[in-house]
């Protein structure tokens, strides 16, 4: 019974954290674009006259979405039309649950992972759920019964399917260096040090090419500029063309959840996850010989904060790209995926294998 | 999958279309196999309205023909009427008109430079362009009282003299814009994705330029050194020192290069105009414009707008109103004759950049 309550508390806390992060990603996007474009950005929303330079803006946005008229056009294919936003947001949120935000703790005599899904095949789970998220795009485009929507849905599908190949292949390199499918274990393996204990053995140092490929393919999977072809607003408006109110809001939130997911996965695979350099389960062990003992709970809190800092740096970078690049054309995007990213990731696997054989 | 063609209407409510027009296309996959421009969403009967008005009342009307660049229309109509009524305007008025035209051209090109990136989803230069254009609109506000519609150029000269210290402020604004331009270049010209999208996009066959009567930056991007400012100079352009800008690519990238160099040219010309600005009168005495009758005659005046050759054919019959005014906007050729042929074989995603590159202004197509 206590176990069930503990798990329920964990699920609620982690998903609340995820959704709050998503809310503030929208604010960061607004503010970052404002700074880049010489504007001030949203700063009018207030609670009791307190503005805090737009701190409450995400809540105002969310409320607006909820209270907007939810108009369903008469010609749509109802089952698909209603299912699409749901599929999008659910399959974007569940993989977030597989990412460990801190090391697992012992609770009631059992190992209690600090991620919603403490699965030992987390990588496979995330990849499979990511492919399911494509159905949101297909259903949305097809169910809208709109030519622009169908075009967007088709493009989105083709794009997501081709870039999943690149994502999967770039992760193979990572899995070869960190031989585990458990995300927590992968993070653990990144808490080793080389060069006299000075340099952490993070994924980005072991697999730099895979990191770049994963980031590019992930952005494409995410359907954001420069890969926002399914929703290019100046050409075909997108698969969510016929949606309004909170149904559109769900697509919108799903987009930002995917940013969070991509940033979290990149952090986990390549930036050492929740690891702060030289912080181990029982405290710091510095390479110059000093050490600092800490209680396990404090260590978990420090890990959680570290994870968040790395996450926000990644999110900042992902948002930056949007305001500095125009979008590719569809055929150019496919060329980039199949002719550059896939061959490069296969090359990366070969190089990794060769180096591993030589070292062994 | 069926290979049937899909009929798609792009516009009039479409974020990628530059105004109230619609393009009907047939799509095979992502490729356009047939295109047709539909106009008529913006018809305001300018030409007919002008026939019912005394001459001076047409000036607030013609500046609405292309909203962001109103001065070309005013100047054309004023020059045409002066030609018909045989009025000689003071030298200073000519130079002030030239200054206003160049400022107007510069603000339009800056906005366009951001817009070409905006047509591909990069909205940062769009915001910059609109922001920097505002500095020039500030100058216009000081000079004419209006930011967008100036109604400043009248038959016989200009409505007001330059305010005190205006020249220095113009030069200051030019310095400011020149400081900003490298940032645009970095974001637009040096952008790998942008180059990939625009280089070699929608090449115009060279023989089309003469067949269809393509003018302006589009013709110059095809290597035709045709610039009304140089070929048949008007106002003070014959006293200015500049070369016609041409590129040889015929594609959208060359049009981008031509317009980028036009920005530099405009800044240079504005500096030159300010330094050479003569002293003297700015307006000749006209007869009472409310009862102004112009003798029978017809004329065609033309000038270089940012989009191409802008022409006015004016026919008067000796009464107080024109018998017929015909406005020839470059967008009519670029937006209908050229666009319909150019879009065939292009990708649906390239419609927006092509539209922006041809700089189509729908009100010019339906006067």
The structural domains of chain B, with segments of one domain joined by +, span 44-328
Nearest to B117 among A228, A326, A332 (CB): A326
CB A342 within 8 A of CB A169: yes
If one looks up domain B44-328 in CATH, what number appears? 1.10.645.10
**pLDDT tens over chain B, length 367 residues:** 456 888 989 878 888 787 788 999 998 888 999 999 998 888 888 899 999 999 999 999 988 888 888 899 999 999 999 999 999 999 999 999 999 999 999 999 999 999 999 888 888 999 999 999 999 999 999 999 989 998 999 998 999 999 999 999 999 999 999 999 999 999 999 988 889 889 988 899 999 999 999 999 999 999 999 999 999 999 899 999 999 999 998 899 999 999 999 999 999 999 999 999 999 999 998 888 888 889 999 999 999 999 899 999 999 998 889 999 999 888 889 989 999 999 999 988 889 999 999 988 888 888 7
- CB-CB under 8 Å, A236 with B196: no
Distance between CA A300 and CA A304 in Å, rounded? 6
Mean pLDDT of A187-202: 85
Whether residues A37 and B348 touch (CB distance < 8 A) is answered with no
Q: Indicate the pLDDT class of residue A297, thresholds 50, 70 and 90.
A: confident
- Contact between B338 and B346 under an 8 Å Cβ cutoff? The reply is no
* Other beta carbons within 10 Å of A350: 11
Q: What contacts A350, CB < 8 A, 6 or more positions away?
A: none
Alpha-carbon torsion (B346, B351, B357, B359), positive or negative: positive
* The CA-based dihedral angle spanning residues A147, A148, A153, A155, taken in that order and rounded to the nearest 10 degrees: 110
pLDDT of amino acid B2 = 55
Provide the ipTM: 0.85
Rounded to the nearest angstrom, the minimum Cα separation between A225 and chain B is 7
B304 SS3 class: strand
Residues of A in contact with B16 (CB under 8 A): 233-235
Q: Is A327 on the interface with B (CB under 8 A)?
A: yes
Interchain CB contact of B329 with A (< 8 Å): no
- Nearest chain A Cα to B346, which residue? A329
How far apart (Å, rounded) are the C-alpha atoms in residues B191 and A301? 42
A220-241: average pLDDT = 81
Check CB contact under 8 Å for B121 and A234: yes
User: How many Å from the N-terminal Cα to the C-terminal Cα in chain A?
Assistant: 48
At A126-141, the pLDDT tens digits run 989 888 888 988 899 8
DSSP 8-state class, residue B298: E
Q: Which residues pair with B300 in a beta bridge?
A: B313
What pLDDT does residue A245 have?
Answer: 87
Measure in Å the smallest separation between the Cα of A325 and chain B Cα atoms: 6
Domain ranges of chain A: 69-359
B197 to A329: CB separation less than 8 angstroms, yes or no: yes
Looking at every residue in chain A, the average pLDDT score rounds to 88
- CA atoms of A29 and A11, how far apart (whole Å): 27
SS3 B10: strand
Q: Is B304 on the interface with A (CB under 8 A)?
A: no
Distance from CA of B38 to the nearest CA of A (A): 18
Verify whether the Cβ–Cβ distance B127 to A324 is below 8 Å.
no
**Mutation choice for A interface testing from B9, B15, B120 by most A CBs within 10 A:** B120
Tokens of B59: 């000036």
Point out the residue among A147, A325, A329 whose CB comes nearest to the CB of B350: A329
Coil vs helix vs strand at B243: coil
Residue A225 at interface with chain B, using a CB cutoff of 8 Å = yes
Q: Is B349 close to A330, i.e. CB distance below 8 A? A: yes
- From chain A, pick out residues whose CB is under 8 angstroms from the CB of B124: 33, 36-37, 323-324
CA distances from B342 to B33, B191, B208, B250 (A): 11, 25, 10, 12
Look up residue A51 and give its DSSP letter.
-
Task: Identify any residues that bridge with A47 across adjacent strands, giving them in sequence order.
Answer: A50
- Phi/psi for A315 (5° steps) reads -60, -45
What percent of chain A shows pLDDT beyond 70? 100
A236 in contact with B at a CB cutoff of 8 Å? yes
Enumerate the H helices of A196-288 as residue ranges: 203-206, 208-222, 245-270
């Amino acid at each position: 019974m206590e176990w069930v309550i503990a798990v329920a508390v964990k699920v609620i806390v982690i998903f609340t954290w995820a959704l709050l992060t998503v809310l503030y990603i929208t604010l960061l996007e607004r503010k970052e674009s404002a700074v880049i474009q010489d504007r001030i950005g949203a700063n009018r929303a207030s609670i009791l006259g307190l503005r805090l330079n737009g701190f409450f803006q995400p809540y105002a946005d969310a409320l607006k979405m909820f209270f907007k008229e939810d108009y369903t056009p008469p010609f749509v294919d109802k089952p698909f039309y209603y299912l699409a936003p749901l599929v999008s947001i659910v399959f974007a949120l569940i993989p977030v649950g597989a990412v460990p935000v801190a090391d697992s703790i012992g609770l009631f005599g059992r190992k209690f992972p600090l991620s919603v899904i403490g699965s030992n095949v987390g990588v496979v789970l995330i990849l499979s759920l990511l492919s399911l998220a494509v159905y949101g795009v297909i259903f949305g485009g097809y169910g809208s019964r709109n030519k622009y929507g169908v075009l967007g849905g088709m493009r989105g599908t083709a794009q997501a399917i081709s870039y999943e190949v690149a994502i999967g292949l770039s992760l193979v390199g990572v899995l070869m260096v960190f031989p585990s499918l458990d995300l927590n274990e992968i993070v653990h393996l990144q808490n080793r040090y080389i060069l006299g204990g000075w340099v952490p053995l993070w994924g980005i140092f072991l697999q730099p090419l895979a990191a770049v490929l994963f980031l590019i393919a992930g952005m494409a999977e995410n359907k954001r500029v420069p890969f926002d072809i399914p929703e290019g607003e100046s050409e075909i408006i997108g698969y969510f063309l016929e949606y309004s109110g909170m149904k559109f809001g769900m697509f919108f939130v799903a987009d930002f959840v995917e940013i969070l997911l991509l940033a979290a996965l990149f952090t986990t695979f390549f930036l050492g996850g929740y690891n702060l350099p030289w912080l181990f389960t029982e405290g710091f062990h510095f390479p110059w010989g000093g050490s600092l003992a800490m209680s396990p709970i404090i260590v978990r809190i420090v890990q959680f904060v570290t994870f968040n800092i790395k996450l926000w740096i990644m999110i900042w970078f992902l948002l930056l790209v949007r305001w500095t690049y125009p979008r590719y054309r569809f055929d150019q995007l496919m060329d980039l995926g199949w002719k550059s990213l896939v061959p490069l990731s296969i090359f990366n696997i070969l190089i990794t294998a060769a180096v591993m054989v030589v070292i062994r | 999958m069926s290979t049937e063609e899909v009929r798609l209407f792009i516009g009039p409510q479409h974020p990628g279309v530059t105004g109230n027009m619609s393009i009907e296309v047939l799509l095979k996959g992502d490729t356009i196999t047939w295109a047709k421009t539909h106009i008529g969403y913006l018809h305001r009967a300018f030409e007919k309205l002008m026939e019912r008005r005394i001459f001076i009342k047409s000036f607030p009307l013609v500046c609405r023909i292309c909203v962001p660049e109103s001065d070309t229309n005013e100047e054309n109509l004023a020059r045409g009427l002066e030609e018909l009524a045989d009025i000689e305007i003071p030298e200073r008025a000519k130079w002030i008109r030239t200054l206003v035209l160049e400022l107007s051209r510069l603000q339009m090109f800056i906005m366009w430079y951001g817009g070409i990136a905006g047509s591909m989803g990069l909205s940062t230069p769009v915001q910059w362009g609109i922001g920097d254009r505002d500095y020039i609109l500030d100058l216009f506000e000081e000079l004419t009282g209006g930011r967008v519609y100036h109604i400043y150029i009248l038959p016989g000269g200009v409505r007001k003299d330059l305010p005190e210290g205006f020249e220095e402020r113009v030069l200051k604004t030019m310095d400011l814009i020149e400081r900003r331009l490298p940032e645009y270049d970095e974001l637009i010209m040096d952008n790998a994705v942008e180059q990939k999208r625009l280089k070699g996009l929608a090449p115009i066959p060279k023989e089309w330029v003469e067949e269809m009567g393509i003018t302006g930056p589009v013709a110059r991007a095809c290597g035709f050194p045709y610039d009304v400012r140089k070929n048949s100079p008007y106002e003070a352009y014959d006293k200015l020192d500049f070369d016609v800008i041409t590129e040889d690519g015929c594609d959208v990238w060359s049009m981008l290069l031509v317009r980028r160099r036009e920005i530099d040219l405009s800044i240079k010309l504005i500096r030159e105009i300010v330094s050479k600005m003569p002293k003297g009168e700015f307006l000749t005495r006209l007869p009472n414009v409310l009862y102004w009758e112009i003798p029978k005659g017809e004329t065609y005046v033309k000038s270089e707008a940012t989009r191409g050759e802008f022409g006015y054919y004016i026919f008067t019959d000796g009464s107080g109103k024109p018998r017929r005014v015909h406005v020839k906007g470059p967008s009519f050729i670029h937006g209908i004759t050229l666009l319909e042929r150019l879009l065939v074989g292009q990708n649906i995603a390239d419609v927006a950049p092509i539209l922006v590159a041809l700089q189509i202004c729908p009100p010019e197509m339906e006067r």
